[in-house]
Chain A
Amino acid sequence: MIHIENLSFRYKNGRKPALDNISLTIHEGEFLGIIGGSGAGKTTLSYAINGVIPHHFPGDFYGSVKVANTDTFDTTPGRLSLKIGSVLQDIDSQMVSSVVEDEILYGLENFSVPGDEIEERLLSALEAVGILPLRYRAIDSLSGGQKQKVAIAAIIALRPKVLILDEPTSELDPKSSEQIFDLLKELNEKYGITIVVIEQKIMLLSEYVKKLAVMDKGRIILSGNVRDVLGHSSELEEIGIHCPRVVSLSNSLRDRGADVGGVWINLDEAEAGIRRLIYD
C-alpha cells in the first residue's frame, strides 16, 4: 500500500536532514504505530506519505514514496487525499469551518459524495467518534479533546483507504484516548483500512497496533511486530522511549529468575503470564 525507498529529506534552510535514508513498506490492512522522541522525524515522515512533502514544504527530496502504486512526486496532496486521510497534530490548522457539522460536510461535499449519502455518512462519523451531541456546536466553543474528535470524524467520513494520524490523542483523557483507538481498531479490522498512527503513548499503542516503527534522528532504527520492538527495551530507553510498565515487569521478573517466556507487551499478556507463573 505504501512503499518508501531510500527517502531522505532536508527542509529548506534546515541544517540536518529531517529524514535520513528511510525505507519502509506498509502493507494493505496494516495497523502501524510510529514512535520516537520530539524531532525524530515522525511528523515529517507522515508529510512524505500524504504528499505534503515535497509539494507543500520546499526542501531537498531524495528517494521515492509510492502510495497505492502512485509516486507522490507525480501527483498532488489533493489527489492523494482521495486515498489517504490525514489527521494533523495541530488540530486548529486543520479546521476550516465554524460549526462541527459543517466541518464534516466540507470534505464530503468537496469529494462529491452523492447528496443522499451525505447525511448517513455525517451521522455515522459523528456517532463513531462519540460526538453526535456536538453536531451543531461552534468549533471555537469546544475543548482541545473535542476538537480532536471532530477532526477524526471529518476524515473517517471520507472513508479513505489509508488513515494517517499524528498524535490523535495528545489532548484526550485516558478513556477518550481508548475510545479513539477502539475506533481505529474497528476501522482497521472491519473495513480493512490501513492505519498509520504517530503516538507518544506507547502503553496505549501496544494494546492496539500490530507493528511498530521506531524513529530517531530522522532514521527508522527498529521496526517489526510490537513484541520484537519492545523486546529491545534498553535500546529504546537509551533514545528516550519509555516502554509500558508491564514490559519492565517481565524484564524485572526474568532478571530475578522467573520463567516469563517472552516479553509481555500489554495487560492481558502480563495477566496470562503471571497466572501461568503462580497457578500452573
Chain B
Amino acid sequence: MINLQNVSFSYNNEKVLSNISLHIDKGEFTAIIGSNGAGKSTLCRIMNGLLKPSSGTVTVNGMDTRTTKSSILARHIGFLFQNPDRQICKNTVGEEIRFSLDIAFTDKSMIEKRLFETLSLFDFDADSNPFHLSRGERQQVALASIIAAEPEILILDEPTTGLDYVECMKIMSIIKKLNDKGITVIMVCHDMEIVLDFAQRILVLAEGRLIADGETREIFKMEEILRQASLLPPQIARLAARFGFDDVFYVDEMTDIVLKRIKNRRKRTG
C-alpha cells in the first residue's frame, strides 16, 4: 500500500528525515509518535506525496510519488492537517464537504448520497458556518470532508489536539469504524492513551530517524527507545513498570494483578 525505501528529506540543507524504510499494508492502524520536531508531520507529507523525498523512493499503491501528481495521489489518500483552519475554505459545512465530493466524484447522485451520509455520520447542520464552530467541531468538519471522498488511506496529523475528551472520542470512534471497514489509518498522536487504545502498530521517530517500528504493546515496553524519543508510556504501564509487572497496560489488567498479589500475600501470612 505505502512503501518507503531509504527515504531522506531535507528542508534547506537541514536533514529532517534520515534513511527511513517501512511498509504499510492495507487495513493497518499505525500511530507515528515522537517529540516536537522529530519529523512526524514531514513523514506524513512524504507519505501522501505533498513532499518528495530528497533521496530514496516512496510508492503509494505502486505509484512513485515523485512521478505521480499530488491530485492523483489525493484520490487514494485523505490527509487531515494539524490545524483544521488550514483546510476549511467554504462558508457552510455542506459546501465544505461538497467541495471535496465534487473533486472525488462525477456522478451527481453519488455526490448527494455521500453528502447526506457524511452529514448524518457527524450529525452536522449543513447550513452552519464552520468558522462559527468550536475548534473541535471545525476539526470534525475537516475530517468529514476528507472521509466523504472515501479514500483508501487516511493520514491524520494530530487529529485530537485541542479537543476535549468527548470530541476526542467522537472523532476516534469514527476513525476506528472506518478502519474496521478496511481503511488504512496512519495517525500522528501525542496522547499515548489514545495510541494504546486505537493503534495496532507504532512508528517511533527521533531526530528524523525511525528508531522503532512494531506492535503497540511491544513498543510501549521499550523504555530506552521511548526515552530516546522523549516519550513516556501510558500511565498504567508506567505504574506497572515500577513493580516490574510486565505487559500490563490497562486498569483491568492492573486490578487483576494487584488483587492476585494481595491474595498471595494473605496465603503466605496465613
Contact = CB atoms under 8 A, between A and B. Distances in A.
Interface string A54-77: 000000000000000000000000
B161 A253 contact: no
Contacts of B36: 143-146, 171-173, 176
If over half of B's interface residues share one DSSP class (helix, strand or loop), that class is named, otherwise mixed; here it is helix
A246 interface: yes
A143 B232 contact: no
B164 interface: yes
B45 to A, nearest CB: 14
Given A143-B36, A249-B254, A278-B258, A173 B231 contact: yes
Given A171-B161, A172-B36, A176-B35, A252 B251 contact: yes
B232 A175 contact: yes
B190 A173 contact: yes
Nearest to B165: A242
If over half of A's interface residues share one DSSP class (helix, strand or loop), that class is named, otherwise mixed; here it is helix
How many residues of A sit at the interface, in one of the four size bands?
35 or more
Given A175-B231, A245-B234, A267-B239, A253 B167 contact: no
Contacts of B163: 38, 200
A274 interface: yes
A256 B165 contact: no
Interface stretch (B101-109, B146-154, B259-267): B259-267
A99 B235 CA distance: 37
Contacts of B165: 37, 200, 240-242
Interface string B215-252: 00000000000000011101110110011000000011
A173 B35 contact: yes
B135 interface: yes
Residue of A172, A245, A271, A279 ringed by the most chain B CB atoms within 10 A: A245
B259 A249 contact: no
A175 B261 contact: no
A173 B242 contact: no
Nearest to A170: B162
A203 B259 contact: no
A175 B136 contact: no
A52 interface: no
A173 B235 contact: no
Contacts of A200: 162-165
Nearest to B33: A173
Contacts of A171: 36, 82, 158, 161-162
Given A175-B230, A244-B235, A246-B235, A38 B258 contact: no
Interface in B75-115: 82-83
Contacts of A38: 134-137, 163-164, 167
Interface in B27-78: 34-37
Interface in A213-261: 240-242, 244-246, 248-249, 252-253, 256, 258
Given A203-B193, A245-B235, 6 more contacts: A38-B136, A146-B37, A173-B231, A176-B35, A246-B239, A267-B242
28 contacts: A37-B164, A37-B166, A38-B135, A38-B163, A39-B134, A143-B36, A144-B36, A146-B36, A167-B162, A170-B162, A171-B36, A171-B82, A173-B34, A173-B35, A173-B36, A173-B231, A174-B192, A203-B193, A240-B166, A242-B165, A245-B235, A248-B251, A249-B251, A252-B251, A256-B255, A274-B243, A278-B262, A279-B265
Interface of A: 36-39, 143-146, 167, 170-176, 200, 203, 240-242, 244-246, 248-249, 252-253, 256, 258, 267, 270-271, 274, 277-279
The 10 closest A-B pairs by CB, nearest first: A145-B36, A240-B166, A175-B230, A278-B261, A37-B164, A242-B165, A173-B35, A252-B255, A38-B164, A248-B251
